[in-house]
Amino acid sequence: MRLVTMFDLPTETKSDKRQYIEFRNFLLRDGYDMVQFSVYVRLCRDGDTARRHIERLRKYAPNSGAVRILLITNKQYAEAIIVAGERKSQEKRINDSQLLLF
């Protein structure tokens, strides 16, 4: 399963910028890979792991702005249509036909 986290956070004030940076750094420390600006993806072994990470996101998400989470299967993620650009190296690491061990 994959957690796709998308966010649009304000960066008007120093406080806003600090919250943005702290949230982005949290995502990177928590195992997310940046797919596009403000779109991060994390691989989860199962639904329980995904739910734990969703709760962690709720805890660290700033109060202002917008944060959205999509929970999708690896197969759905692999079938994403890329209109421009290429898959990033971290997206090529694991596909549906590979065994994932934690």
Mean per-residue pLDDT pooled into runs of 10, the chain (102 residues): 95 95 96 93 93 94 94 88 79 53 43
CA distance 82 to 67: 23
| Other CB atoms within 10 A of residue 23 CB | 19
- The full set of domains in the chain, from first to last, is 2-92 (3.30.70.240)
Structure confidence at residue 77 (pLDDT) = 86
